[in-house]
Amino acid sequence: MSIALRGVVKSYGRTTALDGLDLDVRDGEFFCLLGPSGAGKTTTLKAVAGLERPEAGTIEIDGRDMRDVEPYDRGVAMCFESYALYPHRSVYDNLVSPLRSPRHRLPPAEARDRVDTVAGLLGIGDLLDRMPGRLSNGQRQRVALGRVLVRPARAFLLDEPLSHLDAKLRQQMRAELKAIGDVRRTTTLYVTHDSVEALALGDRIGVIRDGRIVQTGTREDIWYRPYDTEVARAFGRPRINLLPGTVTEAGRFRSADGAFELPLPVRAAPGTEVLAGVRPRDVSLTGDGHRLPGTVYVTEVLGRSVEVTVRIGAQALSLVADRAEVAGLRPDDPVRPAVRPENLLLFEADRPHGPGRRIGRR
């Protein structure tokens, strides 16, 4: 099933949640909608589900205009960020609720089978008699997911389903989610503020900000060709290095304090104020590339690798290196990290009213 939103506007009182949002989700794909809180992610989902009525724009599912189609007629299943488990019903009753509804009604025995299957799949088979109030966050999340999976649906709408879980559980669930067959086969619109999650899960990713889609694309598109500095910052930990400077007559990048120059992979007008972006994992201490003179400022262990922040003039550049490579390094030790020009991203400088856009195509 495909989902298409065209110029959707929705506001609550004076605040605008969706400001002319356009979005296309193709049949069968796992689409991640990524954005900070308040960007309009949940509103988008609810608009698709029919729970919110947009003031302008159209929402189409499989090419059919959904205006005036009631939520229960849209054939979508949604998992709420709050889980929205019915607190007065047991886990089993929560799970079986869709199968008792007039729309999806199954004979009790079949419903029971179906619930057991889904519960088994999610590992919550022994919780069925409990009340939601007596479950851990992780268990609640599974129940919420189970309630989505238990019924036939043309699309899944998942709103930050993993956000309340602790890191380890989140990683595990992420893997499980993708492995569930139904999810793999069915169009899924997945909302998250976590870029790692988006990169891990999404066939395609849409970045949403202030009620509009900033960029849509595959994870490679988003990673290598971010629309602007903010999208670039949103993906990758440690964060991308954004070094301020200008473009020289020769088409090279010169840092703001003039401490170093770099060759640029794209052409830009000389004298333009720019930000040069390079991801810490693309900077190395030992590999090839354009070398920059600096001193070690601070090192931070990230498990097997180490983040090293290098001071180059007035700039700080962080890079990720193997532990072995940095074994002897102390603060103020001189180092010469290497940057490969093809890994450089060039952005317009950030302005007060918005982040700087990426310059050039590649």
Residue 82 CB partners (closer than 8 Å, separation 6+): none
- 35, 98, 202, 226: residue in contact with another protein (rule CB under 8 A): 98
- 59, 61, 78, 119: residue in contact with another protein (rule CB under 8 A): 78
Q: How far is the CB of 121 from another protein (least distance, A)?
A: 19
- 32, 66, 77, 143: residue in contact with another protein (rule CB under 8 A): 77
Q: For another protein, give the closer residue by CB, 46 or 219.
A: 46
Q: How far is the CB of 153 from another protein (least distance, A)?
A: 9
Where does this chain touch another protein (CB under 8 A) — which range of 68-76, 267-275, 291-299, 325-333? 68-76
Residue 203 CB partners (closer than 8 Å, separation 6+): 29, 30, 31, 218
- 50, 161, 245, 277: residue in contact with another protein (rule CB under 8 A): 50
How many angstroms from the chain centroid is the CA of residue 188?
14
What distances in angstroms separate CA 202 from CA 146, 215, 249, 272, 335, one per listed residue?
20, 14, 41, 35, 38
- 30, 31, 80, 190: residue in contact with another protein (rule CB under 8 A): 80
Q: Is the peptide bond before 265 cis (omega within 30 degrees of 0)?
A: no
- 88, 267, 323, 362: residue in contact with another protein (rule CB under 8 A): 88
Task: Give which of 362, 357, 306, 361 is closest to 335, Cα–Cα.
Answer: 306
Q: Which token pair is 332?
A: 């103020």
Task: Give which of 277, 284, 318, 313 is closest to 299, Cα–Cα.
Answer: 318
Q: For another protein, give the closer residue by CB, 31 or 80.
A: 80
Residue 145 CB partners (closer than 8 Å, separation 6+): 79, 122, 158, 161, 177
When asked if residue 49 is in the footprint of another protein (CB under 8 A), the reply is yes
When asked if residue 76 is in the footprint of another protein (CB under 8 A), the reply is yes
- 19, 38, 60, 84: residue in contact with another protein (rule CB under 8 A): 84
When asked if residue 106 is in the footprint of another protein (CB under 8 A), the reply is no
Instruction: Kindly determine how many residues on this chain lie close enough to bind another protein according to the rule CB under 8 A.
Output: 27
Helix ranges (H only) for the chain are 41-49, 91-100, 108-122, 137-149, 167-179, 181-185, 195-201, 219-224, 229-234
- 26, 64, 82, 218: residue in contact with another protein (rule CB under 8 A): 82
Chain residues that interact with another protein, rule: CB under 8 A: 13, 46, 49-51, 53, 68, 70-72, 76-78, 80, 82, 84, 86-88, 97-98, 101-104, 147, 151
